[in-house]
Structure formats: C-alpha cells, structure tokens
Structure 1
Amino acid sequence: MASLPVPHTLPRVSPAIVGAARGRAAVRVRTATAALGGGCGGGGGMEQRHGDAPHSPVKEKPVMSNIGKSTNILWHNCLIGQSDRQKLLGQKGCVVWITGLSGSGKSTLACALSRELHCRGHLTYVLDGDNLRHGLNRDLSFKAEDRAENIRRVGEVAKLFADAGVICIASLISPYRRDRDACRALLPHSNFIEVFIDLPLKICEARDPKGLYKLARTGKIKGFTGIDDPYEPPINGEVSLKSMPSFIITPYNC
C-alpha cells in the first residue's frame, strides 16, 4: 500500500482523499497516486444493478429468494434507479471507509472530509462507529462476533447511501480485515475507498481522548484493539496516512 503524505500547505484535509471522493483521479483504484479514479464524486454512468431498473419495464416471473434467515422474499425494482439519482445530484455515490486504532483521528478526519466535500458542492454523510452504537447497533457488544455484525450492518447501510448517490464516509476501528473486505465486496465498480490512518499504537495511546487505553491497561476493558485484541491493517487499501494535517483546529467558511 502506498503511503500518501499529507501536505502542510493544505490546512483542511488530505488532497488524496478529497480527490478520491470527488472522482478526479487520473487512474483507477489501488494506485499510489489516487484512491479512486472516477469511482465517485463526479458524474458518469454506471451499469444497472439492484434498484436500477430500465425505463421500459418488462414483466417477468418473480423470482423468490431465501437470504439468511429470511425466506420467500422478492427484490422489488423501482423505475427511478441509481443512475437517475446520480444524474439528479450530479455526482456518483461511493463509500470512503476510514479505519485505524482508537485515538488515531478517524472521526475527526471523517468530519473534516465531509465538510471539505460539502464546501465543494458534494452531498456526503458520515457514519461514525460510536454514533451508530447509540441507535442502529446499540444491541451489540464488543465481542468478536458482535464486532463483525457491527461492521456488516454499517457496510449494508453505507451501500444504500452509495446507491442513493451520496458520498458515504464510514469511520470505524473495524479491526478485522475480513470484515472490511466483506464491505468492499458489497460495492461494485470500485466504489469503495479504504483509508488507513497508520498511526503507531504509542501515539494513539498517548492521546487516549476517551481514556479507553488506560482502562484497557488496567484490565477494566477486555478485548481492546491494540492491547489484547489485534488490529489487522489493510494490505491493498487505497490510501494510507502516517500523519494528520493541521486542519483539525482550522475553522473556515464555505
């Protein structure tokens, strides 16, 4: 994974990530110089898929499905599909998935990126891990199986936002590679941008904005990522940041 330095001349947000979300990169994903390459943010068409029905409906025999524990369910297509929504918004939806240790600055980066893109005329929405545990995922613990379900749910919600034409910014520790890869698999056409904040554990622990590392070190929290539970860094992610820019305390108006 190529590490993209954060220039000190831009006090707001990394151009690599903004460029990725706006779809202005000159090359496809997984290159060292761009995170997406037209996958989201800009216009352009996409192939039809679920939710993207042709304008001239063709009556076909319904195909019933069994998905997980749900039986006899049917996917219903609407005449207004993904390409219609993208045309209305003037952008392509995608998911920017920010991952890293607790205290690495994921939420701060997500909100700053959302603000930057908003000021550039793009519709975004942030899915923050802690915020989602106040509602959608309030029934989940931090055990391995619940953490996997937490990421699965966020991935499905993020997919819906992207299908709606929104640039969805998900900010979660998401420590397990297989769970992040499963979310990537939900997004076709290279519309998943994985951003890894690659800060050392000692720096994140020194920050400890929530006091969680101290609790983990004293045994009051079990299974804490980086202490007694592993974090699996991305292998082929689109963007890797080894430092954070100074935009955190730099307010500005659009």
Structure 2
Amino acid sequence: MTTRANELTALVTGATAGLGAEFARQLAEAGHHLVLVARGEERLKEKAEEFERDFSISAEVLAADLTTDVGVSLVANRLRDAARPVDVLVNNAGIGLLKSFEQNELEEEKRHLRLHVQTPMELCHAALEVMLARGKGRIINVASVAAFANRGTYSAAKAWQVTFSRWANIAYGKLGVQVTAVCPGFTHTEFHDRMGMDKSVAPRFLWLTAERVVREGLADNAEGKAVSIPTRRYKVVGFFARILPAKLTSGPPRRPLQP
C-alpha cells in the first residue's frame, strides 16, 4: 500500500508477533489507526506504543483469548461499534499442532478448530454488520497454502477459510466489502517456533518473509481478489496441490526439534 488512508481503522488479531504484527505495521504505515488483539496485554501495550511512536497513529489494545466465548465476544462487540467503525479486519490469530491428529488431545484439537474456523467466522459476522451498513470494508482471513493440500485438521481448517472467503467476496464484494484469504507458505515468524517444529523440513528457497506475504496480501485484497497466494513459487505449489492425488500432497511429517 503506497497511499495514506484517511482516518481509517484496522483491527488485527494475533497482532503482537509474526504476520499479525507485520499486518499492523504496514497498515499503520499507510495511516490506519489500529485495534490490536492478542492474549498478552503487556506485549500489546508495547506494540501499541511502538506503532503510535513510529507512525503517528492511535493504537487501541484488546487483550482477549480468542479460543473462549468471552474473548471472542469482547472483540465482536468492538467490531459492532458503529460509532467507532472498523474499516479493515485481519483474522490472523492461529496456532499449530505438531503431532498427528490421533496423538493430540481432543481439547487441543477443539481449541485449534475454534481459533481457525469458529472465531474468524464469528468476527466476520460481527464486522459485516457495520461494514455492509456503511457500504464499505475489507476483511482478510490469514489462511495457508496448506488449504490446497491434505495435512490433517490444519489443512481442513484453512480450507474452510479459503472456501468461505471465496464465497464472501462474491456475495459482499458488490456491496463494497472485499474479502480475501491470504495463503502463505513457510514464512519466517514465531509460528513454527511455538510449535517446536524443526524448520529444516523445508528447503531455504521455500521460506518467505512476513513483509512480502503481507505486502502482497494487502495489495490483492485492495484489488478485490478472493485468494492471495504470495510469490510465484507458491502459486505453482498451490496449483499442483489441487491436481495431484491426495496421497502425494499429504507431505512428510513435521519433525519436532531435537532436545
């Protein structure tokens, strides 16, 4: 994004690290005021102060656990506040599970599904109430190129985000609200570190920077694209993932870090 916005506000979930922090940074650089959402209040305040200092915008913080009804309701109510409208919603909060489905605790899988499917669905619904009434708005759902492959419940959850975003962009784009699923591949963030994943499972050329993923994602959303797959290499990966047999797109196991 190269032009500065005029008194626009963006709400970003998972905003203290990784792609969420980069979305917030680039939106702030473009002049958007921010509503930053994450679980840790101290890190939120630090990020808010950083963005306000660096970009002369205002940054509001909402400490919320988006795997809980209470946390989701807090953010949804902020999105429904027509007196302080949110122009851009970025559903970025996410977690990964390193083990296979049968090895994970059921509560872990339920939390994973909640954060990747139910929570963005609820926040999209809340945001649309105000956006459609105003006749404008932008929604970005941070999915993954894994949505086009077969990698357990993570792929399944991200496939939901892609399918929903495609439909929503058709349904609401003509009403002024652009909805995009951003589908990065391996990206240098804290995401894989928090999982305890050995990053050597993927060759260096497949790793992307958060700056590029966000820059291309924002540009594609501004152009009204329903799906954004950053870089040509991952567009190719996404294409073949769609047409190859499922057993070939399941991929190798995600190795844990060795102690």
Kindly indicate whether structure 1 or structure 2 has the higher relative contact order, using CA contacts under 8 Å at least 6 residues apart.
1
Smaller-chain TM-score bracket: 0.3 to 0.5
Structure in which a larger fraction of residues adopt helix = 2
Select the structure of larger CA radius of gyration. 1
TM-score, length-scaled by structure 2: 0.36
